[in-house]
Amino acid sequence: MGFFSATIEITRQTLRQLLQNRMCLVVGFALVAIALIGYLLGGHPPRELKGSHLYALMAWWLLGTVLLPWTTLYFGVQAVHGDIEDRSFQYLFLRPVSRAAILLGKWLAVALLCSVMFTVGAVLLFFAFAARPELWPLGVETEMAVAFAEAMAWAAFAYASIAVLFAAKFQRPLVFGAFFIVGLQMFIGNMPAQAGIRVLTITDPLRRLLLDGIDPDPRLARVLWPSEREFKPDLIGHPLLNLSIIIAVTLVLALWFYTRSEYDSRSRE
């Protein structure tokens, strides 16, 4: 079986398995619930906050910072490390397909599932606020939905690559994932806008991608990202390139570990 065919077959099967996971249903309910909360909140908006502010706040903090990273990390770890932990990976490793195809197939499945779920979630939330015309004095800003949907899709692919790297390398990938999301990103990601080390996180290029896409007023920018007080448009740089580099580097590392590790050996314990 060719590399491409094997990757697609693994993607298909992993997607089937993930869709049967109860967490999929839980996240689906959560996304609908967030949209409902958004709709209810839109009826009683905090003073001076427009529809775009409310939407950006909820989409970024609830979806982009909490739900998407954790969900993608969970699914990525389930798809890759779940097999390793219960040793059912043996059935796949015994087939005449490369381990690289197996890992890429699993990564693609997780990334596709999460990007679809959260793109739909972001659009759903947007519709919840768009249904309140009084929140949009200058008209509904549909470009916000497009920008957030794009950011969610990119974020899902990036977090999926982090998840498969940790799952391939570590025995406790969720712990390392938590450190990455809660510790590293919050610490480095909130450094001053000029700090070059911020490109090591996913939140930073995502934030710049959104700043480029939605062109927020200074107040919204400050509310969303307090560390961006000194932000200037020329600091946007190339967020998609940065995200692509993160995805590529983490995937290469994940492939390196996955193809070279003897997961059944005592040395790993």
Partner 1 sequence: MSSQPPPLETQSSAPPSALLTFANVSKWYGQVSALMDISFAVRGEVVGLVGRNGAGKSTLMKLASGLLRPSEGQVLVCGDDASTARARAQLGFCPDLDRLYERQTGREFVAWMLRLHGASAAAARQRAGDVLQELGLGEHMHRRVCEYSKGMRQRVRLAQALAHSPKILLLDEPMTGLDPIARHELAQQIMTLARNGIGVLISSHVLHELEAMVNRVLLIHQGRLLAEGRVAELRGQLRGQPHRLRLISECPRDLAAALVPLSQVVGMQLSPNAVEVSLSGEPGFYGALTKIAAARDLVSEAVPLDDSLASVFGYLVG
Residues lying near partner 1 in the complex (CB under 8 A) are found at 1, 5-6, 9-10, 13, 17, 20, 86-88, 90-98, 262, 264-267
Task: Compare residues 5 and 142 and give the one whose CB is closer to partner 1.
Answer: 5
Question: What is the SS3 assignment for 216?
Answer: coil
Task: Compare residues 91 and 230 and give the one whose CB is closer to partner 1.
Answer: 91
Rounded to a whole number of angstroms, the minimum distance from the CB of residue 20 to partner 1 is 5
Residues 6+ away with beta carbon under 8 Å from 28:
117
Please name which of 208, 214, 215 lies closest in space to residue 242, comparing C-alpha atoms: 208
Q: How far apart are CA 144 and CA 151, in angstroms?
A: 10
**In one letter, which amino acid is 124?**
L
Rounded to a whole number of angstroms, the minimum distance from the CB of residue 251 to partner 1 is 21
User: Which residue reads 């009084």 in tokens?
Assistant: 134
Task: Compare residues 96 and 233 and give the one whose CB is closer to partner 1.
Answer: 96
Rounded to a whole number of angstroms, the minimum distance from the CB of residue 13 to partner 1 is 6
Of the chain, the end-to-end C-alpha distance in Å amounts to 33
Rounded to a whole number of angstroms, the minimum distance from the CB of residue 110 to partner 1 is 16
Q: How far apart are CA 1 and CA 7, in angstroms?
A: 10
Rounded to a whole number of angstroms, the minimum distance from the CB of residue 25 to partner 1 is 14
Task: Compare residues 7 and 115 and give the one whose CB is closer to partner 1.
Answer: 7
Task: Compare residues 227 and 261 and give the one whose CB is closer to partner 1.
Answer: 261
**Torsions phi, psi for 251 (to 5 deg):** -70, -40
